[in-house]
Structure 1
Amino acid sequence: MTSALPTTRPADRPFDPPEGLAELRERCPLSRLSYPDGHLGWLVTSHALVREVLADPRFSIRSELQHLPIPGAPGSDQPAPPGLFSAMDPPRHTRYRRLLTGQFTVRRMRRLTRHIEDLTAEHLDAMEEHGDPVDLVRVLAQPIPAQMICELLGVPHADRARFQGYALDLFRLDASPEQRASAYTAMHEAIGELVAAKRAEPADDLLSGLTASDLSDEELVNIGFVLLGAGLDTTANMLALSAFALLTHPDQLAALRADPGIAEHAVEELLRYLGIIPFTVRTALEDVELHGERIKAGETVTVSVPEANRDPAQFVDPDTLDLLRSTAGHVAFGHGVHQCLGQQLARVELQVVLPALVTRFPELRLAAPAGDVAMRTDMLIYGVHELPVAWER
């Protein structure tokens, strides 16, 4: 029995999962979990069981069935409105997923590589011109993913900072219900204005393309909400946290700098090692036998993504960052039908930006002690609030 989901990261090991999860995985990879609202559900911490739960259609992602394991996590006790496909089960989820999958194929995302390279070079030029020290979050990690997802959706440049602010408010664990509701409403209204503009004057972007389908305005707004909410915050944090990890692992930093061709391997390992998504939840639609236990219909299962990616049964020496290891089977993007739709875009961005950064600035270093870097422990998506860096000129 676990009285609460562990959320405290080791102060001297900011890249490790919260303390206590590894012990739970070794002792009892499927354990009882008490939720903040009084619900008695389950916690899964092993790699094999995480994949099993995420692939089993008897476990639902529907929002109205879920109980959330930490206070302040954004959720809803209502069924997902039309278009909010991330909180739907098949077949409702399948309809939207099929409409969007073609927009995020590996081939299409790789065609964006040159654009991402040019964009990265522009930001690195500006960073060098500004001079050190700089906050890598502000000058590089946030703006590149934001510009890419906004360009894909057709968000005007002038509106990008506003949307990013809404996304940050939605992911704050200390936000009041009123603050979160205000950000949710404002973001929906802004996307509604964008959808109306696309219907009136379609352009060459994802939202414009979807206006030619049979989707309603409400569906288009909620699809835009899902894609913007994910695209504005996740990759930005992965970029910044990856840079922090490399700067505190000089042997791995040197390996990437010496051979930028290992970027694909390096990114998969950083995705496995860092675990910026702390959990996901599913609820049993019927009684399910799992690891010798009966999970009853209506019970919520919290899946620990970071701990699954540190399971020694799947990865040799999992607590060591090794950019050349095999990371086959990692669940950083989830697993099953709800695996992250934008994962290929995130991969391309990471594979371009990280090697470009470390080769452009061979003497890049932290401009503050590692222990002074402010971690995003107050946010649902883990990362750093700021990452001050400097370099020799």
Structure 2
Amino acid sequence: MSLRSRITARIGRLVLGRTMRKGLDLRALRRMPDRLTFPFRRDGFDPVAQIGELREQTPVARLGDFFGRGVWLVTGYDDSRGLLADGTSFSNDLGQFVSQEGRSAEEQIGGLGMTDPPLHTTLRRYLTPEFTKRKLARLEPLIEGIVAAQLDVIEAQGPELDLVSDFAFPIPFEVICELLGLPVEDRERFAGLGVARFDLSQGGVGSFGAAAASREFLIGAVARQRDEPGPGLIGGLLTEHGDELDDVTLGGIADGVFLGGYETSASMLALGAYLVSRTPAARELLLADDESADRVVEELLRHLTVVQVAFPRFARVDVPLPDGRVIASGDVVGFSLVAANRDPKLVDDPDTFDPTRAPTRHIAFGHGLHRCVGAELARMELRIALRELVRRFPDLHPTAELDELEFRKLSAVYGVASLPATLAGVHSSV
């Protein structure tokens, strides 16, 4: 490191220390530095060209310094799997970047994606039994009913629709509300808390504010169910572990389920419906059998990878790289999941959506200790919702071209604001 770089890093650490002592932190940032935003930008469904160039030249690249810490981006598939699997050298504790002083319980940083063992192990222990294949099997009829009811609404109001507001968002919202066990009267207030969680256009202000709002809501939902547990996950955990879990902890667990299961599924359904409606082979495979439908779903997950960047990791120790460079202790490491899933080392012709492609070991759900606990639920939702959409409305097609859509400009979860479509000839399911 040059003398100038050492001086800059030293100044950055002093500034960070002072701001943390004053109670200022990432929540106060109004915007991200431009040099760090390109991993969140795309050209339609594809990563921007800069991502592919970086992966080809330096799949583990140092982007510079931020508040005195080195910032790295991993874009290669093999490198991503290797480093994501290293739970010893890296921490997920975002709290070191965010002052907790003077914060209410709702504003505290936590959750599975932002904690380390042993706390992470403890929290995950409560959730994992709820997401086994056996437990999820009981949700299949529920999801089928939610999808059918929403398609009835679409058919009744047709032939014009918005695949985002009429299809992609209502279905996972109802699923997550049923899963958590939220009463109907709570759902209207709960709606709309998802999108802002991942919006990085205002730095930390918007996303942390939205996080506090949803945590506050769910902590309240836990408190209301403590005396009379409901039928969902919140009620089940209260019944089995109520003596171990206070309202804040269980509210945080519920918030993690909401965070991972609502906005991400909605974006996948919207963008997946667009791709499927324009790909005859995908429509045929969705209707053929479960194995063929699963193949389509896996390729959609790989190709779209709507969770663009994994939760950041922080080096606990110096981590040497094969080329002799070192990720220094304290450095921040980001992982471009979409870049890794478009790596030619994973598949041939990676930028093409090919529903006939054999399933890959993609990392759309992350990898290692922090792999998404709700991955199988997400797969089930996608398979059921897209299959039934194609079955009910075989002539459905978008009425806007890709370059006419308004994609989110800077979001950890990639999506689209609106996706107009028409049913054309409606085929009733009756």
How high is the sequence identity, in percent, across the aligned residues? 39
The answer for unaligned runs of 5 or more in structure 2 is 1-33, 102-106, 426-430
Aligned length: 381
- Residue type at the aligned position of 2:272: S
Q: Cα offset for 1:260?
A: 6.6
The answer to which of 159-168 and 56-65 deviates more is 159-168
Q: Cα offset for 1:230?
A: 2.2
| In the alignment, structure 1 residue 301 sits paired with structure 2 residue 328 | no
Q: Tell whether the 8 Å contact from 2:39 to 2:309 is kept in structure 1 after alignment.
A: no
| In the alignment, structure 1 residue 144 sits paired with structure 2 residue 171 | yes
Q: Cα offset for 1:5?
A: 4.7
The separation in 2 between residues aligned to 1:102 and 1:331, in whole angstroms, is: 22
Q: Which residue of 2 aligns with 1:73?
A: none
| In the alignment, structure 1 residue 347 sits paired with structure 2 residue 374 | no
CA RMSD of aligned residues (A): 2.4
Q: 1:8 to 1:339 in 2, by over 3 A?
A: closer
Q: Which residue of 2 aligns with 1:31?
A: 61
Q: Can you list the C-alpha shifts for 1:244-288, whole angstroms capped at 9, x where unaligned? A: 222343443454456675111110110000011111221111111
TM-score by length of 1: 0.90
| In the alignment, structure 1 residue 237 sits paired with structure 2 residue 264 | no
Corresponding residue to 2:114 among 87, 92, 97: 87
| In the alignment, structure 1 residue 120 sits paired with structure 2 residue 147 | yes
- Residue type at the aligned position of 1:21: I
Q: 1:227 to 1:238 in 2, by over 3 A?
A: same
Taking the TM superposition and a 5 Å limit, the aligned residue runs for 1:278-297 are 278-280=308-310, 281-292=312-323, 293-297=325-329
TM-score by length of 2: 0.82
Q: 1:337 to 1:7 in 2, by over 3 A?
A: closer
Q: Which residue of 2 aligns with 1:54?
A: 84
The separation in 1 between residues aligned to 2:40 and 2:257, in whole angstroms, is: 29
Q: Can you list the C-alpha shifts for 1:107-150, whole angstroms capped at 9, x where unaligned? A: 22122112211211111111111112101111111111111111
Q: Can you list the C-alpha shifts for 1:18-72, whole angstroms capped at 9, x where unaligned? A: 3211111111111111255563221111111101111001111110346xxxxxx
The separation in 1 between residues aligned to 2:208 and 2:350, in whole angstroms, is: 39
The answer for unaligned runs of 5 or more in structure 1 is 67-75
SS in 1 for 2:344: coil
Q: Cα offset for 1:236?
A: 0.6
Q: Which residue of 2 aligns with 1:359?
A: 391
| In the alignment, structure 1 residue 64 sits paired with structure 2 residue 92 | no
- Residue type at the aligned position of 2:319: V
Q: 1:110 to 1:35 in 2, by over 3 A?
A: farther
SS in 1 for 2:38: coil
| In the alignment, structure 1 residue 154 sits paired with structure 2 residue 181 | yes
SS in 2 for 1:211: helix
The separation in 2 between residues aligned to 1:249 and 1:114, in whole angstroms, is: 27
Corresponding residue to 2:306 among 276, 292, 295: 276
Q: Which residue of 2 aligns with 1:247?
A: 277
The separation in 2 between residues aligned to 1:330 and 1:348, in whole angstroms, is: 17
The answer to which of 299-308 and 81-90 deviates more is 81-90
The answer to which of 97-106 and 166-175 deviates more is 166-175
